[in-house]
Structure 1
Amino acid sequence: MIKNSMKKLSAVLLVGLVLILAACGEKADDQIFSIDDFDKIKTNEGEAIEGGTINYGLVTDSPFEGTLNYTFYSGNPDVEIIDWFDESLLAIDENYNFTQDGAATFEVNQEENSITFTIRDNVNWHDGKPVTAEDWVFSYEVIGHPEYDGVRYNSDFTIIQGMEAYHKGEADSISGIEIHDEKSFTITYDQFTPSLLASGVWTYAMPKHIFEDIPVAEMSSSDAVRRNPIGMGPFKVDSIVPGESVTLVKNEDYWRGEPNLDGVTIRVVNPNVVVQSVKNGEVDLVSSFPTDQYPDNKDLSNVQFLADVENAYTYIGFKLGKWDEEAGEVVMDPDMKMADVNLRRAMWYAVDNDTIGKQFYNGLRWNATTLIPPSHPDYHDGTIEAPLYDPEKANEILDEAGYIDVDGDGFREDRDGNKLVINFASMSGGDTAEPIARYYMQAWEAVGLNVQLLDGRLQEFNTFYDRVEADDPAIDIYQGAWGVASDVDPSGLYGRNAAFNFPRYTNEENDRLLAEGISEAAFDQEYRQNVYKEWQKLMVEEVPVFPTVYRAKLVPVNNRVLNYAVGFDSSTGIYRHELAVSQDEPVKAE
């Protein structure tokens, strides 16, 4: 049982928790919002002028890394930039399935376990060279190469015939890929999966004529990635100020048609000043808007707020092992501090994520229950009973598992009676980052767990992920966020061979379910839904991580901007080259 001293401490801390949450202000009913309150496509005001430029705010509290190529990037700020000047060769619909509307078309031969891709004749790189089948295949050869230093090599590639032999250096080419002519090639798979018709195909090419003379191990740091990247998208890079800004000009030769705008300027905007930047018209669009700032700015006269359910969730992760670089797989360690599932489950019960969503995000983030978010409604299972805020239950679990306050200092020791200090890594960024991290630590302290912020401070974005990915032994738990892929298959984040499996968790049941989710039987949607329902339940039981909140992507769009949607693809029917403005200067708030 918990000693009286711990009970007194818990009572004091619970008062502190109330004060932390109250610091965000009491939320009246009209200050709690819903994703359903917003449109996804902007209402146009006025007529488009010829040309013009827009300013795009990349909201981050740290410089962008500048790995500006789909094959090599690892952080969200970089891909936000890449998406403006390069693009997928295949388009997707509202259900995240590939369509024939992109820069390439495809033909499936399920009997042969193959897909043949054909690139349109008018698709060119920014330097005027045609995008070829060799370019697309080259990206597979780079990602599968033994000296590739990126994070893309996963089960999407290993199921290609001959890829593993190529990856191990046992073959000079990938036997399952056959180029037919300048514009078409076929990939044959060891196993044909339903994921292949969504995000299971790598849909990004690399300009082989630029990269072929660069050693694979040096590509990610080369000028072709860092200083002079090219793509096939509607805008092309004109200049880069490393970590700060990118200036783009229109690609007159864009395959969908010449863009309306003359160019786009992308620049880093600190979360602390994004509201002012929007008000003053310094930016027309932003990568994200702090939802905690929305109530005070919802009536801004110079913008229309749009939103959509983000393909993402925030989560608390527990370090359970290491990444074996040589074997290319996760290895769990039963001696890790967070190895006991009872400790992990108790920490989930100890936090009030529903109140976090309301108090810090005004309802525009909301309590998360499973690791498949509602952005995938065909597979998200909202009926699963995940732990909800119940500190008494957390205390009960910890007591029964043997985490007892032995020395009477108010903190529980581990099951062997040794002092237990849990090191927590959390990112900086925005006004809410610190109070939320502080709330979590005090919530855990209220049930007797001594959780300390790593290095006594929040970590900036790049440092945070460098340390988490490297399995820094100083990190026991961390607060992260994942954007999820178009396809529901979670093996790229939680598979045994996934470098992004940052908690370093796996077991045989996890392996089985992830394999079943991409099996031939999973072409039957009901079967696949049942598999992922089981997987979501397993993750709730095993708690390698626990989701905290689902997210709305909130975007204020300046009134002068025309033809904008949250998501440029065939699901909205609006594409970046159609962006336009109704006047030269941004509209400022009155």
Structure 2
Amino acid sequence: MKKRNRILSLLLAGVMALGLTACGASNAGAAADETGSAAVSTESASSDTAASGEKIINVGVTNTIGSLNPLLLNGGEINKYATGLMFLPLMELDADLNFEGMLADSITTEDNKNFIVHIDDAATWSDGTPVTADDVVYTALRLASPVIGNTAMMYYVFEGVGDDGFVEEGAESIDGIQKVDDKTVQFTTKEEMPITTFENSYARYLLTLPKHVIEQYSEEELSTAEWFNHPDVVSGPFIVTDFDVDHYISYEANKDYWKGAPKIDKLNIKIVDGSQLYAGLQSGEIDITQQTMSDIPQEDYESVEALDNVEVVYGSPVTNQSVFIQTKNVPDVKVRQAMLYAIDRQQILEELLNGHGEIVDGFLSSASPFYDDSLTPVSYDPEKAKTLLEEAGWDGSQTIRFYVNSGDSTFVNAASIIAAEWAAVGIKAEIQTVDFATLMSVAGTEDYDVLAVQYTYAPVDPYPDVAWLLGGEGSWTGYSDDTLNEALTKSQLTSDPEETKELFSVVDKKVQEDVPMFSAYVISAQGAVSKRITGAAPSVYGFFNDVQNWDVVE
């Protein structure tokens, strides 16, 4: 695994962007309150609905966007989905974690190295021009450009791309990404890769651009071109009309969308603080929230459930409240085991999350097709914890430095409970509550004993995150194990779901045994949708897949 871990370390920022949840990190709501700009834009749109009869839907989210340029995609959910409304990905996961064709209608491989992507024959740009293989190849080349410099895309896996993820400056082609015919592209990887990894990490994040429109720009201009803020040619169901990266994004329907004209006229994404979502749903200023982009505070769950004008949908458990132990600083496995036995995780789940979630050991939750339900989580047993500490020669003099995200109010409370339970068995812990940016800075130093953060391990493709987090020295756990490494390596050499499940079970069992990390709980987050909306349902994945079918019934 040396080559894989070396490459993964180069792209850590990209991996974290895909998996981490900066709970409470949205300061956009506060900014909107101070400036009023978000409220003015979206409220005037709502007024237009009554006056003109236009159908408008407002989506409430709690994270800022960054950019609408697909070449600057950072992997964050709101960035991906907001941009994907205009420029479709090749494939997307649906609500049941099946891959669904978006711009492509199929992806196949015979050897897990050559992936054949076929573009839907019906796919066209909004100006009537067919979407072709040239568009896909052109976009991929720009994503691998050192001039644009997007490290989050992780294109180092393809033939002809350097380990830094870039081609040579001025390159006119990529050996591993080639046109076969007008509607077919072949992607060739340096090493074998399961098709699910290709689909999840690459097909979902390649948002194809219209070559015939933007080839007028040099690579230097592509990062700042105003065209991306007001594109006039798109492949998706909506076209942006106005946006403020911290407050809102407004779209109008692409009436020439090749999958069918949207039933609504306009769509607004309103960026607010989580504490504003309940009031927005209650007043009707927000029509729908999604489980991972819309962070409804736990304390508002019951109030949202009591609203007569919305339907509440709890998402599948995918967001893991992970607790990482830096094994370099807590080297005795018996001490780490004791730390886990000392915590009543089920009680925390019931009291702080009202049972909306689950307790698992390891990385995978029941949302993953590779989840092993025979792996029974370690139960609360403080006497066992005391015995283990005694066997380890623990004298209680050491203080565990426990870093927690101050923006995650639920886990701040959970951390206090955990610290009290540790104290009851003889483990002293000092809780350090820091903002998300500081937490990530601390994570890179190894100068901590325990660090907790919300982390979503992609249910269909957990390998990149797991391999990094258990990658030995320099990782957040400092932990490595030969048996575990062998299982992870083998998971990349098979596309058999049952074999993959067995291999990840090996990983989770080893993590349960050695405790380099544990899951405090896995969250089933709340989403909500106004009863005036049809064809739309909050879901962790596939939320916007059929947005053209969303409608308003007054």
Category of TM-score, reference length = shorter chain: 0.7 to 0.9
Partner of 1:449: 427
Structure 1 residue 164, shift from structure 2 partner: 4.6
Task: Indicate if the aligned counterparts of 1:366 and 1:551 stay in contact, CA closer than 8 A.
Answer: yes
Task: Indicate if the aligned counterparts of 1:496 and 1:511 stay in contact, CA closer than 8 A.
Answer: no
Write the distance in 1 (CA, Å) between the matches of 2:68 and 2:508: 33
Write the distance in 1 (CA, Å) between the matches of 2:271 and 2:103: 30
Q: Decide whether aligned partners of structure 1 residues 136 and 483 sit closer, same or farther in structure 2, where only a CA change above 3 A counts.
A: farther
1:106-505 superposed matches below 5 A: 106=106, 108-110=108-110, 113-124=113-124, 131-142=131-142, 144=144, 148-153=149-154, 157=155, 159-164=157-162, 167=165, 172=171, 173-189=173-189, 190-191=191-192, 193-196=194-197, 198-199=199-200, 201-203=202-204, 204-207=206-209, 210=214, 213-215=218-220, 219=223, 222=224, 232-288=235-291, 289-319=296-326, 336-376=328-368, 378-405=369-396, 412-413=397-398, 420-429=399-408, 432-454=410-432, 457-459=433-435, 461=436, 463-464=437-438, 466-467=440-441, 471-485=444-458, 487-495=460-468, 502-503=476-477, 505=479
Write the distance in 2 (CA, Å) between the matches of 1:68 and 1:468: 31
Task: Indicate if the aligned counterparts of 2:338 and 2:388 stay in contact, CA closer than 8 A.
Answer: yes
Task: Indicate if the aligned counterparts of 1:291 and 1:364 stay in contact, CA closer than 8 A.
Answer: no
Task: Indicate if the aligned counterparts of 1:133 and 1:184 stay in contact, CA closer than 8 A.
Answer: yes
Write the distance in 2 (CA, Å) between the matches of 1:201 and 1:293: 36
Write the distance in 1 (CA, Å) between the matches of 2:135 and 2:434: 41
Structure 1 residue 58, shift from structure 2 partner: 0.7
TM-score (norm 2): 0.76
Partner of 1:578: 549
Task: Indicate if the aligned counterparts of 1:369 and 1:547 stay in contact, CA closer than 8 A.
Answer: yes
Write the distance in 2 (CA, Å) between the matches of 1:314 and 1:502: 15
Structure 1 residue 557, shift from structure 2 partner: 1.0
Task: Indicate if the aligned counterparts of 1:238 and 1:249 stay in contact, CA closer than 8 A.
Answer: yes
Task: Indicate if the aligned counterparts of 1:354 and 1:367 stay in contact, CA closer than 8 A.
Answer: yes
AA aligned opposite 2:207: A
Q: Decide whether aligned partners of structure 1 residues 84 and 200 sit closer, same or farther in structure 2, where only a CA change above 3 A counts.
A: closer
The CA deviation string for residues 151-206 of structure 1, in whole angstroms up to 9 with x for no partner, is 332xxx55544445784768955323221344321123442534357525434234
Q: Percent identity?
A: 20
Q: Decide whether aligned partners of structure 1 residues 539 and 112 sit closer, same or farther in structure 2, where only a CA change above 3 A counts.
A: closer
The CA deviation string for residues 110-136 of structure 1, in whole angstroms up to 9 with x for no partner, is 159423222235535568775442443
Task: Indicate if the aligned counterparts of 1:54 and 1:265 stay in contact, CA closer than 8 A.
Answer: yes
Structure 1 residue 423, shift from structure 2 partner: 4.0
AA aligned opposite 2:552: V
AA aligned opposite 2:533: V
Partner of 1:558: 530
Write the distance in 2 (CA, Å) between the matches of 1:526 and 1:538: 19
Tell me the SS of whatever aligns to 1:388. coil
Structure 1 residue 92, shift from structure 2 partner: 4.3
Choose between structure 1 and 2: higher helix proportion. 2
Write the distance in 2 (CA, Å) between the matches of 1:118 and 1:93: 19
Partner of 1:56: 59
1:50-89 superposed matches below 5 A: 51-59=54-62, 63-66=64-67, 69=70, 72-79=73-80, 81-89=82-90
TM-score (norm 1): 0.72
Write the distance in 1 (CA, Å) between the matches of 2:329 and 2:337: 14
The CA deviation string for residues 78-136 of structure 1, in whole angstroms up to 9 with x for no partner, is 3453454443222446663435x432123535159423222235535568775442443
Task: Indicate if the aligned counterparts of 2:237 and 2:261 stay in contact, CA closer than 8 A.
Answer: yes
AA aligned opposite 2:60: G
Write the distance in 1 (CA, Å) between the matches of 2:545 and 2:207: 23
Tell me the SS of whatever aligns to 1:428. coil
Partner of 1:530: 502
Write the distance in 1 (CA, Å) between the matches of 2:81 and 2:439: 17
Q: Decide whether aligned partners of structure 1 residues 223 and 392 sit closer, same or farther in structure 2, where only a CA change above 3 A counts.
A: farther
The CA deviation string for residues 228-287 of structure 1, in whole angstroms up to 9 with x for no partner, is 688633222222223222222222232211111111221223222322222122211123
Tell which deviates more after alignment, 494-503 or 113-122: 494-503
AA aligned opposite 2:380: Y
The CA deviation string for residues 465-510 of structure 1, in whole angstroms up to 9 with x for no partner, is 64256x1455443222222325244234434898996545444333
Unaligned runs of 5+ in 1: 1-48, 321-335, 406-411, 414-419, 584-590
Write the distance in 2 (CA, Å) between the matches of 1:92 and 1:540: 29
Tell which deviates more after alignment, 481-490 or 207-216: 207-216
The CA deviation string for residues 525-580 of structure 1, in whole angstroms up to 9 with x for no partner, is 3322221221221222232321121222321211111111234988x997111111
Write the distance in 2 (CA, Å) between the matches of 1:559 and 1:193: 41
Write the distance in 1 (CA, Å) between the matches of 2:475 and 2:208: 26
AA aligned opposite 2:395: I
Aligned-CA RMSD value: 3.8
Write the distance in 1 (CA, Å) between the matches of 2:466 and 2:306: 39
Task: Indicate if the aligned counterparts of 2:304 and 2:312 stay in contact, CA closer than 8 A.
Answer: no
Which one of the candidate residues 514, 517, 520 is aligned to 1:542? 514
Write the distance in 1 (CA, Å) between the matches of 2:112 and 2:325: 42
Partner of 1:516: 490
Write the distance in 2 (CA, Å) between the matches of 1:197 and 1:151: 15
Unaligned runs of 5+ in 2: 1-51
The CA deviation string for residues 423-451 of structure 1, in whole angstroms up to 9 with x for no partner, is 4132414x534322332333333333343
Q: Decide whether aligned partners of structure 1 residues 206 and 191 sit closer, same or farther in structure 2, where only a CA change above 3 A counts.
A: same
